[in-house]
Amino acid sequence: MSQSLVIIGGGIAGLAAGCYAKMNGFDVEIHEMHNLPGGLCTAWKRQGYTFDLCVDWLCGSSAGTSLYPVWEELGMVQGRTFQDPEYYTVAIHRNGERFTVWADPDRLREEMLRIAPEDRKFIERFISDIRKLMRIDMPVDPGFWDLIKIIPSLGLFRHYAVPVSELAGKIRNPALRDLFISALDWHDQSAFFVMMMIAFMARKAAGYPVGGSVPIAKAIEARFLSLGGAIRYRSKVREIIVEDDRASGVVLEDGTRVPADIVLSAADGFSTLFSWIPEKYVTDEIRGYYRDLKPFPPLVFVSVGVAGGYAGIPRSVSIPLREPVMIAGMQVSRLTLMNHAHDPTLAPPGKAVLSLMIEADYAYWEKIPYQTEAYREEKDRIGKQVLNTLQDFYPEIRDKVEVMDIATPHTFVRYTGNWRGSYEGWLSTRDSMNLTLPQALPGLRSFYMAGQWVAPGGGLPGAALSARKAVQLICKAEGRRFVTTKP
Ligand SMILES: Cc1cc2nc3c(=O)[nH]c(=O)nc-3n(C[C@H](O)[C@H](O)[C@H](O)COP(=O)(O)OP(=O)(O)OC[C@H]3O[C@@H](n4cnc5c(N)ncnc54)[C@H](O)[C@@H]3O)c2cc1C
């Protein structure tokens, strides 16, 4: 009987897989190349400010959702304070018109009708469909009746599989059309995905955990350690040992061999499949996904620490630029700004953190080697451009900026190893929204995968659920009944 399990990656998927494997009696060791848990679910400190990369909302943050017991099993929600955002985001039009995407469907309906009374038909249907989505939950261990329950949503699934920009083509009022796209388009993902988010928020089930990303990652790490798991930091895996078509351990960067009965990779999908195991085990189906599916783009992630409360700046706002500008090889005509002032733990009293996610072109960054003079100059240039634009729009922050930090696609690769700097794995598009990628390979025994690269759409729920599923598969192969516990 297999007993020892080695997990590659201490992101949310690796930690969650570790917890479930411990609950089911395995000896588990996680190898994480960074010096802290969480992977992309992370933050860093600069001059008293905490610059948080990840969590804006946690789907399943409230009891009554199917995900909540999963977060309880992982020890992530107990004793935590969640803030339920009143709105998803705000978009501002060049003409000054402002569109708030309220979480409450009644308020959202009024807001849309105020801007575009002539689009009543589209608006009524959109709102009514969000209400329908509020009744749908993410099936965790889908049984027959769970599948029956989602049948009514299949029509919505098909109708809203289109990108937001295509759906917006049905809006007649030009200002609402523009604002709808600016507020809701997310790298051309299916409108269904964004509507699901609004529906979760409307149910008060996509809260923001006060304290941000690191405390939730540390909570799962603590749960894993309390279950008796072991985690090795600064331990980078370079290869998976395969003997007789069976994964039997890993080789670390320094050459150390770590034998194990089972190997689970919760790290980057591309490295796992195309660098760490012999390619002969990768099926044509999987090759096709890596050829045809679209990953989330890499980002330039700008964080700014400012002296002042800035209660007037929404927690998320899409602002139009007076003129499009080239930022790191990409033409940018809008910036999405996040104001983290709602979380007082992230900044010293009276101060606030603002951040911006700017889509980047990986090919552009590949030509600028990491940590060179050219790299520093590029970051300086971006910093100045972003500050000028922000100060144009919000003059009150002029002269108040105390510290600025810029993470580039190189930073994402260095600290998380994600393929081409992608920040969330695969986009959820018409082609991928109902897909899950294989978590085991037909010719390779004792090998499993979890994390955002097997769960299109990415996110913390996808990471945790794919980890749970991987351990279910392991238990099935080992003839064990899968069990869970709560702390
Ligand atoms: C800007 C941003 C905002 C986001 N907002 C949200 C949000 O509000 N809500 C939400 O649900 N999700 C959000 N996400 C997405 C979410 O953070 C990710 O989808 C999720 O954390 C992915 O977890 P993972 O464990 O699958 O992968 P990762 O976090 O990438 O973890 C993989 C781990 O493997 C380690 N690793 C890689 N290679 C090796 C190696 N060779 N040896 C050892 N270890 C290795 C890495 O260091 C990393 O720790 C956001 C992400 C970003 C970047």
- Whole-angstrom distance, CA of residue 447 vs CA of residue 136: 33
Q: Count H helices and E strands in the chain, helices first.
A: 16, 20
**Among 138, 171, 203, residue at a domain's last position:** 203
Residues 334 and 413 grouped into a single domain = yes
Burial class of residue 281, CB neighbours in 10 A (0-12, 13-18, 19+): middle
Q: Does residue 260's CB lie within 6 angstroms of at least one atom of ligand 1?
A: no
30 lies in a domain? yes
The ligand 1 atom at the shortest distance from the C-alpha of residue 450 is 26
Alpha-helical regions (H) of 45-104: 68-73
- Whole-angstrom distance, CA of residue 129 vs CA of residue 402: 44
Do residues 165 and 67 make contact, with C-beta atoms less than 8 angstroms apart?
A: no
Residues 25 and 133 grouped into a single domain = no
Q: Does residue 416's CB lie within 6 angstroms of at least one atom of ligand 1?
A: yes
Structure-token pair, residue 138: 């993410």
Residues 115 and 185 grouped into a single domain = yes
Q: Does residue 40's CB lie within 6 angstroms of at least one atom of ligand 1?
A: yes
- Residue 335 three-state SS: strand
405 lies in a domain? yes
Q: Does residue 15's CB lie within 6 angstroms of at least one atom of ligand 1?
A: no
Higher model confidence: residue 324 or residue 68? 68
In 53-111, the DSSP E strands lie at: 58-59, 82-83, 87-92, 98-102
| CATH code, domain with 254 | 3.50.50.60
Residues 331 and 390 grouped into a single domain = yes
- The single residue listed with the structure tokens 């929600």 is 77
Q: Which residues contact 398 (CB under 8 A, 6 or more apart)?
A: 391
Residues 306 and 407 grouped into a single domain = yes
Please state the rounded mean pLDDT for residues 390-411. Answer: 92
Express the helix, strand and coil content of the chain in percent, nearest 5 each.
40, 25, 35
Q: What is the pLDDT of residue 302?
A: 97
* Count of domains for the chain: 3
The percent of residues in the chain predicted with pLDDT above 70, rounded, is: 100
Q: Whose CA is nearest to atom 51 of ligand 1?
A: 54
Q: How far is the CA of 275 from the centre of ligand 1 (A)?
A: 19
81 lies in a domain? no
- Residue 425 three-state SS: coil
Expressed in angstroms, the distance from the first to the final Cα of the chain is 27
Residues 223 and 330 grouped into a single domain = no
467 lies in a domain? yes
364 lies in a domain? yes
Q: How far is the CA of 38 from the centre of ligand 1 (A)?
A: 7
Q: What is the pLDDT of residue 432?
A: 87
Angle, nearest 10°, between helix axes 12-23 and 213-226?
20
Checking if the pLDDT of 20 tops 90, the result is: yes
- The DSSP string of 118-140 is GGHHHHHHHHHHHHHHTT----S
Structure-token pair, residue 367: 């030509």
pLDDT digits over 360-398, tens only? 999 999 999 999 999 999 999 999 999 998 888 898 888
The ligand 1 atom at the shortest distance from the C-alpha of residue 301 is 1
Do residues 284 and 314 make contact, with C-beta atoms less than 8 angstroms apart?
A: no
Q: What is the pLDDT of residue 110?
A: 98
91 lies in a domain? no
Q: Does residue 85's CB lie within 6 angstroms of at least one atom of ligand 1?
A: no
Structure confidence at residue 126 as a pLDDT band (50, 70, 90): very high
Burial class of residue 386, CB neighbours in 10 A (0-12, 13-18, 19+): buried
Residues 191 and 140 grouped into a single domain = yes
**Among 419, 447, 467, residue at a domain's last position:** 419
Nearest 5°: the CA angle 129, 134, 139 is 115
Checking if the pLDDT of 317 tops 80, the result is: yes
Residues 394 and 310 grouped into a single domain = yes
Burial 392-423 (b: 16+ CB within 10 A, else e): ebbeebeebbbebbbbbbbbbbebbbbbbbbb
Structure-token pair, residue 20: 């479930």
Residues 222 and 176 grouped into a single domain = no
Owning domain of residue 336:
299-419
Checking if the pLDDT of 153 tops 80, the result is: no
Residues 107 and 121 grouped into a single domain = yes
The ligand 1 atom at the shortest distance from the C-alpha of residue 38 is 49
Nearest 5°: the CA angle 425, 242, 29 is 65
Pocket test for ligand 1, best of 41, 58, 89, 439 (most atoms within 8 A of CB): 41
Q: Does residue 13's CB lie within 6 angstroms of at least one atom of ligand 1?
A: yes
Structure confidence at residue 322 as a pLDDT band (50, 70, 90): confident
Q: Does residue 177's CB lie within 6 angstroms of at least one atom of ligand 1?
A: no
Residue 472, number of CB atoms within 10 A of its CB: 17
Q: What is the pLDDT of residue 155?
A: 86
Q: What is the DSSP letter of 117?
A: G
Q: Does residue 12's CB lie within 6 angstroms of at least one atom of ligand 1?
A: yes
Do residues 161 and 129 make contact, with C-beta atoms less than 8 angstroms apart?
A: no
93 lies in a domain? no
The chain-wide mean pLDDT, for the chain, equals 95
The ligand 1 atom at the shortest distance from the C-alpha of residue 357 is 1
Q: Does residue 33's CB lie within 6 angstroms of at least one atom of ligand 1?
A: yes
Residues 312 and 394 grouped into a single domain = yes
**Among 172, 203, 234, residue at a domain's last position:** 203
Residue 3, number of CB atoms within 10 A of its CB: 11
Q: Does residue 451's CB lie within 6 angstroms of at least one atom of ligand 1?
A: yes
The percent of residues in the chain predicted with pLDDT above 90, rounded, is: 87
- Whole-angstrom distance, CA of residue 430 vs CA of residue 88: 23
Q: How far is the CA of 92 from the centre of ligand 1 (A)?
A: 30
pTM (2 d.p.)? 0.96
- Whole-angstrom distance, CA of residue 468 vs CA of residue 462: 10
Residues 148 and 218 grouped into a single domain = no
Q: What is the pLDDT of residue 412?
A: 97
- β-pairing, 206-209 vs 82-83, is antiparallel
Q: Does residue 236's CB lie within 6 angstroms of at least one atom of ligand 1?
A: yes
Q: How far is the CA of 276 from the centre of ligand 1 (A)?
A: 19
Checking if the pLDDT of 147 tops 80, the result is: no
487 lies in a domain? no
Q: Whose CA is nearest to atom 16 of ligand 1?
A: 459
Q: Does residue 41's CB lie within 6 angstroms of at least one atom of ligand 1?
A: yes
Q: What is the pLDDT of residue 148?
A: 74
Angle, nearest 10°, between helix axes 174-184 and 105-115?
140
Q: Does residue 212's CB lie within 6 angstroms of at least one atom of ligand 1?
A: no
Q: Does residue 269's CB lie within 6 angstroms of at least one atom of ligand 1?
A: no
Q: Does residue 61's CB lie within 6 angstroms of at least one atom of ligand 1?
A: no
